[in-house]
């Protein structure tokens, strides 16, 4: 399945439902909980509402930011020995695209003029959290995330990336890595989602691309 391409990218691009992408209809059949304990994949900053769909998944956006050499931005979580792509939850009053640009600024300090939107995954990609990470005291229970992934081209300079705009930054280091490197390094329960997003976007960056087999579930 090819990703959705913005109209300016291809006159032959498949058409995605504009309601699903731009009107906030991603929040149909959702409920919210107030999470006062920040941290984790189903958490928001204190006093924010965490949106959970009827199946227990939190709507989220993921960002694959590539440079001119088609390397991708890889960021280290603050005070953790783990790396990941920028990502974040979608608030009740914003569309996925609005969430992407907010997360870019909050997590890596980038403004819209520092990036170019190339493509968006055509559907939600889901991952489940291991049981040890579930917060059984929260109702409704969040069991994982469903994500729309955005492929973006970095058009700024290295000094435009700023990780310290907040008192509690999400990341404390970043680097450019080979396009497929994140699949090897990401935590196991996110691996298939990363593979699916990278596979969907790969033909746009690599004309010679041939689909690689997905990793087996563990």
Question: pLDDT tens digits for 16-46?
Answer: 333 334 434 444 444 444 443 334 577 554 4
Asked whether residue 214 is domain-assigned, the answer is no
Q: Range of 138's domain? A: 18-205
Domain presence at residue 12: no
Cα 195 to Cα 3: distance, rounded to the nearest angstrom: 14
The string of pLDDT tens digits covering residues 46-64 is 445 668 999 999 999 999 9
pLDDT tens-digit map of 147-171: 999 999 999 999 999 999 888 899 9
Residue with the larger pLDDT of the pair 119 and 215: 119
Task: Let me know if residue 3 belongs to a domain.
Answer: no
User: How many domains are contained in the chain?
Assistant: 1
Beta bridge partners of 116: 153
Please state the length of the chain.
218
**Is residue 40 domain-resident?**
yes
Q: CA angle 137-138-143, nearest 5°?
A: 105
> Residue 218 domain-assigned?
no
Residue 84, both tokens: 């990941």
Residue 75 forms part of a structural domain: yes
Confidence label for 9 from pLDDT (cuts 50, 70 and 90) = low
> Exposed, middle or buried, 134 (CB in 10 Å: 0-12/13-18/19+)?
middle
> Tell me, what CATH number does 85's domain have?
3.90.79.10
């Amino acid at each position: 399945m090819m990703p959705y391409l913005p109209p300016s990218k291809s006159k032959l691009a498949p058409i995605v439902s504009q309601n699903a992408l731009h009107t906030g209809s991603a929040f149909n059949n959702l409920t919210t909980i107030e999470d006062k304990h920040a941290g984790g994949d189903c958490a928001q900053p204190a006093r924010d509402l965490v949106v959970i769909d009827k199946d227990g998944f939190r709507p989220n956006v993921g960002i694959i930011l590539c440079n001119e050499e088609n390397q991708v931005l890889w960021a280290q979580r603050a005070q953790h020995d783990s790396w990941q792509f920028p990502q974040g939850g979608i608030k009740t009053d914003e569309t996925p695209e609005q969430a992407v640009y907010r997360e870019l600024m909050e997590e890596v300090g980038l403004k819209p003029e520092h990036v170019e939107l190339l493509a968006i995954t055509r559907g939600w990609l889901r991952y489940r959290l291991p049981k040890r990470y579930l917060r059984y005291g929260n109702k409704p229970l969040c069991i994982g995330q469903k994500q729309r992934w955005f492929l973006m081209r970095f058009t700024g300079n290295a000094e435009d990336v700023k990780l310290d705009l907040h008192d509690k930054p999400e990341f404390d280091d970043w680097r450019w890595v080979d396009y497929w490197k994140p699949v090897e390094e990401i935590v196991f329960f996110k691996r298939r989602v990363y593979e699916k997003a990278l596979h969907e976007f790969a033909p746009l960056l690599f004309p010679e691309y041939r689909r690689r087999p997905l990793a087996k579930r563990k």
